[in-house]
Structure 1
Amino acid sequence: MGQAECARDLAERLLAEPLPRRWAHTQGVAARAESLAPILGDEADILTAAAYLHDIGYSPKLIDTGFHPLDGARYLRDVAGADERLCRLVAHHSCAVNEATERGLLNILNAEFAQERPELVEALTYCDMTTGPDGRHLDAHERLAEIHSRYGPDHLVSRSITTSTPCILAAVDAVETKLRELSAR
């Protein structure tokens, strides 16, 4: 069984029952990741695994700091014994450094988890930020608006998403450019 299959099983156990909408989002993000296999080659499996696991830190069983990328990555490292690269992808997905800054957790995040290769982080950000909460594909601008609407303008998630918007849109653009280049061949 590959990393993606193991990741799917773990994410389902942690999210499906307590957070069915988050599980639907997760499945949609993983489907987006699978669609990137032509541009990722050998790294498609780790991206799909990270897509399944990126939001496990929301599981009521895992909440520690309240910052889901860090809580999820710590669980993967300390309990699941996951691949270090997978932990780093989960820890830094979707420009997480900005929310870590808002929460006063940036030094902890960076001390515990180094950044992963930018191309993989961009790909995971693309998958997350083009998938709505119900798992359906959304334009990145629609997804950002949905997050703002869900949390409200004064919530720290909205503030961090505002700060992250250039990073998120650059990641989405980079992946979409690679997909266009591939289809033009």
Structure 2
Amino acid sequence: MDLTIWARDLAGSLLVESLPRRWAHSQGVAVKAQSLAGILSADAELLWAAAMLHDIGYAPSLATTGFHPLDGARYLRDHSAADERLVRLVANHSYALLEADERGLQEALEAEFPILDHSELVDALAYCDMTTTPDGTPTTVDARLAEILTRYDRDSIVGRFIRRADADLRAAVRRVEARLLLAER
């Protein structure tokens, strides 16, 4: 089966009914990923699938640790024939390692799903996630980071994580935007 169809169907089966807003976000992140095909060439389909699946760990049926990157990646590893790079992208999307540290899960995440060496894919997924609203519409990284902090208390796990990851997330977005500009020339 085609990777994109499989990823869309799997994400939809897990999110459509239980978390429709998360489903809308995932679809928007995938649309953003599709816009990067010109700079990713051979990895465009992999990025699209990771974008579609990056938040499946929020699904109530998968949420075992409460840390969605780890829960989603474990599900993909244990219940599908997903490519290892796809699983590792889901596990480490948007600087998840920093949030894993806040949750006391850094060692587990690093041991089970080492970060990909291919930083362009890691940056691309962060770019897609951080430039898409919870409703799936395009936004800026500034607006997205501010929006996240309106949903979570500043001293909550997610609040602390976003503040720690802020500079890294902005830098990833800038690197992708620079690549897009170069590709336009």
| Alignment TM class, shorter chain as reference | over 0.9
The residue aligned with 1:83 is 83
Measure how far apart 1:164 and its partner are. Answer: 0.4
Letter paired with 2:111: A
Between the two proteins, the alignment pairs up a number of residues equal to 184
- String of CA shifts for 1:75-133, please: whole Å, max 9, x gaps: 00001121100000000000001100000000000000011111101000000000000
SS in 2 for 1:134: coil
Q: Distance in 1 between matches of 2:42 and 2:3?
A: 12
TM-score, L = length of structure 1: 0.98
* 1:174 positional shift: 0.5
TM-score by length of 2: 0.98
SS in 2 for 1:93: coil
The one-letter code sitting in structure 1 at the alignment partner of 2:5 is: E
Tell me if structure 2 keeps the 8 A contact 1:131–1:138.
yes
Moved over 2 A (4+): none
Q: Distance in 1 between matches of 2:134 and 2:153?
A: 16
CA offset at residue 152 of structure 1? 2.0
Q: Are 1:69 and 1:92, in contact at CA under 8 Å, matched by a contact in 2?
A: yes
CA distance in 1, matches of 2:122, 2:3: 17
Deviating more after overlay: 22-31 vs 152-161: 152-161
Match of 1:144 in 2: 145
Q: Contact conserved, 1:33 with 1:47, CA < 8 A, in 2?
A: yes
- Aligned equivalents of 2:25 and 2:155: distance in 1? 24
Inter-partner Cα distance in structure 2 for 1:180 and 1:2:
30
Describe how 1:4-15 pairs up with structure 2 within 5 A.
4-15=4-15
In 2: Cα distance, 1:118 partner to 1:18 partner: 32
Structure 2 letter corresponding to 1:37: A
Q: CA deviation at 1:2?
A: 2.1
Deviations 1:21-68 (A, max 9, x none): 000000000000001000000100000000000000000010011000
Equivalent in the alignment of 1:98:
98
- The residue number in structure 2 matching 1:120 is 121
For residues 110 and 3 of structure 1, what CA distance do their matches in structure 2 show?
A: 26
RMSD (Å) for aligned C-alpha atoms: 0.7
Matched, 1:180 2:184: no
Aligned identity (percent) is 58
Residues 99, 157 of structure 1: 8 Å contact kept: yes
Task: In structure 2, list runs of 5 or more residues that go unmatched.
Answer: none
Q: Is the CA contact (8 Å cut-off) linking 1:2 and 1:45 kept in structure 2? A: no
Contact 1:131 1:143 in 2 (8 A): yes
Counterparts of 2:61 and 2:80, CA distance in 1: 13
Q: Distance in 1 between matches of 2:124 and 2:77?
A: 21
